[in-house]
Chains A and B, each alone.
Chain A
Amino acid sequence: MEEDLTQLIILAQVGDRDAYGKIYGQFYKRIYRYCQFNTYDAVLAQDICQETFVRAWKALPTFSIKKGGSLQAFLFRIARNLIIDNSRKKKTASIENYENLASSEDLAENLDRREESKKLKEAMARLAEVDRQIIVLHYFEEMSGAEIAKVVGIREGALRVRTHRIIKKLKDLMEGK
């Protein structure tokens, strides 16, 4: 699988669209759900997901596997930047105003069935954007420390400490501290 992906990346880097189509097939669902979770807007998430792959195609020749590059980190970083850009341009549902959305009644009704789950989502909504991404990428996407560090742009060494702090902060927020 890993070798196949490496081959596909090399082919896509020299302009093979079919190879890139296979890469798209492997990642689009994950990119979509990441965008969906962060925008809470299915249409916007769909657009950002598609744009992620268009941008990634352009930037692919600069991507280096030999330097320890991870394609999923590469794609998630582009998706995250697009989500942030979008939230700046349009003041619609996005990471920037996720807190408002998450604490709104609609979101609470749509997302939360149980009190604890609701508390966790509300607590996550109160986290800084970077901290929320760290939780999503670490716990939901099960990405490695090195990959998360690349997506959010911090050092891997600092990430471990930061993750512990975020979990503690989440606990405090859920307990209403």
Chain B
Amino acid sequence: MIEDELKKLKEEYRETQVPPYLIYDGWTSVRTRLADRGGWAIWLFARRIALAVLFLALIFTGVVTTSKAAAPGDFLYPVKVASDNLYAKISGDYQKPVENRTQDIVKSSSGQNGNLDEAIKQYENALDQSKTQVNDQRSKEEFKRTLEEGQQQLRQAQDENNNEQDREKLQRVIEKTNELQGEIKGNRDSHDDSQQEENKKSED
């Protein structure tokens, strides 16, 4: 009963007539009374945006820091890989992701933590990315050294691993690393040859 009465009163409430002044001049009148938004309002707005950006940056930093401890196959592992790749793009240090992925393989292989297949997959991706980015001779030399050191670690990991399947997987990775080393060496040799030819011509 009371609900019905409330409904009837609601109809009456909603039929309230708005004065013509409000309809025709209401906004014009209000507009003339609106205070100018001083610099403080814009500052307040900008501050809110800055706080939001800071908050997101803190969250991002927290996630990235936490991801550093992630092992291959973990939920945050892709974040770790992505942050390493981002670091490489910004700093130009493309050996870093390869070094880190090598460590991931070593740890996964020793059974400390992580999924070996995922570690290998990410290592191969890192190799593919790095080889396209290493262009000048100095970088190639450094990259070659990184690969040599990595290869040694991989061999050691292979020796210490008793699982036949894992050993085969590691062997494939070592071979791929070796191939890449060969590619870089080949480039360097051809570069050296052309350099020698140029020197010879200038001597003549």
Contact = CB atoms under 8 A, between A and B. Distances in A.
B18 A32 contact: yes
Given A49-B22, A50-B30, A33 B41 contact: no
B30 to A, nearest CB: 5
Given A36-B16, A116-B5, A57 B45 contact: no
B19 A167 contact: no
B18 A33 contact: yes
Given A50-B29, A61-B44, A37 B34 contact: no
Given A17-B34, A54-B34, A61-B41, A32 B6 contact: no
Contacts of A135: 6
A21 B45 CA distance: 20
Given A33-B18, A49-B22, A117 B2 contact: no
A46 interface: yes
Contacts of A20: 34
Contact of A121 (B9, B10, B41): B9
Interface in A2-18: 13-15, 17
Interface in A132-154: 135-136, 139-140
Contacts of B14: 33, 140
A103 B108 CA distance: 83
Nearest to B26: A28
Given A61-B45, A135-B6, A174-B2, A14 B27 contact: no
- Assign chain A's interface to a size class: 35 or more
B44 A62 contact: yes
A30 B16 CA distance: 9
A12 B19 CA distance: 26
Contacts of A32: 16, 18-19, 22
Contacts, number: 89
Given A139-B6, A170-B2, A17 B31 contact: yes
A130 interface: no
Contacts of B29: 50
A171 B21 contact: no
Contacts of B9: 117, 120-121, 139-140
Contacts of B35: 57-58
Nearest to A16: B37
A21 B22 contact: no
B117 to A, nearest CB: 42
Interface of B: 1-2, 5-10, 12-14, 16, 18-19, 21-22, 26-27, 29-31, 33-37, 41-42, 44-45, 48
Interface of A: 13-15, 17, 20-21, 24-25, 28-29, 32-33, 36-37, 42, 46, 49-50, 53-54, 57-58, 61-62, 64, 111, 116-117, 119-121, 135-136, 139-140, 167, 170-171, 174
The 9 closest A-B pairs by CB, nearest first: A33-B16, A15-B37, A61-B41, A140-B13, A120-B5, A140-B10, A61-B44, A139-B6, A53-B30
20 contacts: A14-B41, A14-B42, A20-B34, A28-B26, A29-B18, A33-B16, A49-B26, A50-B22, A50-B30, A53-B30, A57-B30, A61-B44, A116-B5, A117-B8, A135-B6, A136-B13, A139-B7, A170-B2, A171-B2, A174-B5
